[in-house]
Amino acid sequence: MSETLFIDGRWVSARQGGTRTIHCPADGSEVGVVAEATSADTEAAIAAARRAFDAGAWDVTAPERGDFLLRVAARLRERKDEFARAESLDTGKRFVESQIDMDDIASCFQYYGKVAGQEAGRVVDAGDPAVVSKVVSEPVGVCGMITPWNYPLLQVAWKVAPALAAGNAFVLKPAELTPHTAILLMDVLDELGLPAGVANLVLGAGAEAGAPLSSHPDVDLVSFTGGLVTGRKIAASAAETVKKVALELGGKNPNVIFADADFDAAVDNALNGAFVHSGQVCSAGARIVVEESIAERFTDELVRRARNIRLGGPFDESAESGPLISAEHRQKVTDYVKAGVEEGARVRCGGEWGTGELEQGYYYLPTVIDRVERGMSLVVDEAFGPVVTIETFGTEDEAVATANDTFYGLAGAVWTGDAGRAERVASRLRHGTIWINDFHPYLPQAEWGGMKQSGTGRELGLHGMAEYTETKHIYHNTAPAVTGWFSDEK
């Protein structure tokens, strides 16, 4: 038995007693045993959130909600290393990277702590001095949240912080492989006095523990971050009860490099874009689109640098990147590269599993692939691993057309020394975030999300909070009168 579900303010085990053992992907060692919920546990959590919301448990003033979030941010900073250690053990990611994630998570809570209550609604002119007409924002109600394993607590924070700032109750179902930091977060919310039932945590497989969050009539909104195929299922299931849906899905993100770019910076950032966290990043720069005149030199340099990347476990201080999340995921990446080679692509480096000491974990070597063409699976589908392809272009129009030739639209970058061209290309790229002469930075105060099949809605920034609100128009006639529309005479 493992009391790691947090339902109605209490730590409980799964009703049917199910458990799951979590292993570190860096070496297979056991990290912990957590409860494995069934849909009945999730339904109990939804009922608790519904009761808490309907009873007004979190109906405190917006400044009080803001103050609570600021205290969460402070507590997360105090417990940073404990959280970072748990994140690294679940994901295999470097401890220093997890520490950076924890700073970002605290900043997210801090941002929404400050934003809470800033939107006080607006009075609109009804054209009649006797009428007070105002538009106000209210919490959506009960929010279902489903998150992936790559940035486990960061993705949770992007949902929990704005949802609490706006006054909602929620049920969170984090990825089944990486539950520990979500458990720790619930501990912080509980410790700081969040009323029972406002925050609920269920753990377990998506199709079982997660499914009620998109189908249940008592859930008012489902916010999902994860893969495209799951996102489609969740949107379809949510349609039955016409609940609000926010989807943060995958990406196939182009990194466009013109010949006049700062060469060294462009190579270095292309390396970061593709291989940070072994490419298990929704915004990974997995498609390099480089001007023909520098393509060979650029690729040679990228290959040289990629071969030098040192892989290792979370606490190996010489390691620059870690393992993939699981044996299954590594096999998917392996099959994906193999299929690309069968279609005619050429592996310039990598394309293999780690050897020697790395054999105890799920390591895959940083992989650079050229001789690809638009339409090949390597260029179309998300690898979600350390795999980058090289495409080339001759003109600016070709660069834009290539970079937009994807059904995803999450993020992209343009590298050039020409400021006019940078702005032109940035405005023509159909992706939710565009970096100019950079790759990967994001800000809690700037919206994040995808165009096309990378999703609907936005996280972070003011729109990220608006997702968790309903808009209501209140029309107050202070001088009620008979309308005379229908005759009162027989």
User: Is the Cβ–Cβ distance between 436 and 413 less than 8 Å?
Assistant: yes
d(CA 11, CA 2): 9
Dihedral, CA of residue 166, residue 172, residue 177 and residue 179, to nearest 10: 80
State which residue, 66 or 174, has the beta carbon closest to ligand NAD.
174
**Which active-site residues does the annotation give?**
248, 282
Site string for ligand NAD, 162-201 (x = CB under 6 A): -----------x-xx-------------------------
Closest C-alpha among 49, 45, 54 to residue 11: 45
The single residue among 157, 245, 282, 311 that binds ligand NAD, judged by CB under 6 A, is 282
Site string for ligand NAD, 366-385 (x = CB under 6 A): ----------------x-x-
300: alpha, beta or left? (left if phi > 0; alpha if psi -120 to 50): alpha
- Residue 292 beta carbon to ligand NAD: minimum distance, rounded to whole angstroms: 30
Ranges within 408-427 binding ligand NAD (CB under 6 A): 410
| # chain residues binding ligand NAD, by CB under 6 A | 31
- Residue 146 beta carbon to ligand NAD: minimum distance, rounded to whole angstroms: 5
State which residue, 249 or 267, has the beta carbon closest to ligand NAD.
249
- Residue 211 beta carbon to ligand NAD: minimum distance, rounded to whole angstroms: 4
- Residue 406 beta carbon to ligand NAD: minimum distance, rounded to whole angstroms: 13
Q: Cβ neighbours of residue 47 under 8 Å, at least 6 residues apart?
A: 218
User: Looking at the chain, how many residues does it have?
Assistant: 490
* 97 touches ligand NAD by CB under 6 A: no
Q: String of b and e for 16-39 (b: at least 16 CB within 10 Å)?
A: eebebebbbbbbeeebbebbbbbb
User: Is the Cβ–Cβ distance between 189 and 202 less than 8 Å?
Assistant: no
Closest C-alpha among 200, 189, 237 to residue 216: 237
Please count the CA atoms within 13 angstroms of the CA of 480 that sit on its side-chain side. 2
State which residue, 261 or 410, has the beta carbon closest to ligand NAD.
410
* 206 touches ligand NAD by CB under 6 A: yes
Q: Which stretch binds ligand NAD (CB under 6 A): 10-18, 162-170, 208-216, 343-351?
A: 208-216
- Beta strand segments in 292-333, E: none
* 460 touches ligand NAD by CB under 6 A: no
d(CA 350, CA 14): 42
Q: Cβ neighbours of residue 137 under 8 Å, at least 6 residues apart?
A: 119, 121, 166, 466, 469, 470, 471, 472
21 token code pair: 């053992």
- Residue 198 beta carbon to ligand NAD: minimum distance, rounded to whole angstroms: 21
CA distances 292 to 254, 259, 402, Å, are 16, 8, 13
d(CA 152, CA 407): 25
- Residue 445 CB coordination number (10 Å): 14
- Residue 28 beta carbon to ligand NAD: minimum distance, rounded to whole angstroms: 19
Sheet holding 5-7, edge to edge: 10-12, 5-7, 199-201, 169-173, 142-146, 221-225, 244-248, 455-456
The single residue among 39, 181, 225, 456 that binds ligand NAD, judged by CB under 6 A, is 225
State which residue, 111 or 384, has the beta carbon closest to ligand NAD.
384
* 207 touches ligand NAD by CB under 6 A: yes
Find the helix or strand (DSSP H, E) in which 471 lies: strand 469-477
Ranges within 226-245 binding ligand NAD (CB under 6 A): 226-227, 230, 233-234
The single residue among 197, 210, 313, 461 that binds ligand NAD, judged by CB under 6 A, is 210
State which residue, 106 or 383, has the beta carbon closest to ligand NAD.
383
DSSP per position, 269-289:
HHHHHHHGGGG--TT---EEE
* 467 touches ligand NAD by CB under 6 A: no
DSSP per position, 184-250:
HHHHHHHHTTPPTTSEEE--S-IIIIITHHHH-TT--EEEEES-HHHHHHHHHHHHTTT-EEEEE--
Q: Which stretch binds ligand NAD (CB under 6 A): 86-94, 141-149, 389-397, 435-443?
A: 141-149
- Residue 465 beta carbon to ligand NAD: minimum distance, rounded to whole angstroms: 16
Q: Which stretch binds ligand NAD (CB under 6 A): 39-47, 159-167, 203-211, 475-483?
A: 203-211
- Residue 132 beta carbon to ligand NAD: minimum distance, rounded to whole angstroms: 40
Q: Which stretch binds ligand NAD (CB under 6 A): 30-38, 220-228, 269-277, 361-369?
A: 220-228
C-beta nearest to ligand NAD: residue:
206
State which residue, 258 or 384, has the beta carbon closest to ligand NAD.
384
- Residue 215 beta carbon to ligand NAD: minimum distance, rounded to whole angstroms: 9
Q: Which stretch binds ligand NAD (CB under 6 A): 28-36, 144-152, 298-306, 421-429?
A: 144-152
Contacts with ligand NAD, residue ranges (CB under 6 A): 146-150, 155, 173, 175-176, 205-207, 210-211, 214, 225-227, 230, 233-234, 248-251, 282, 382, 384, 410, 450, 455
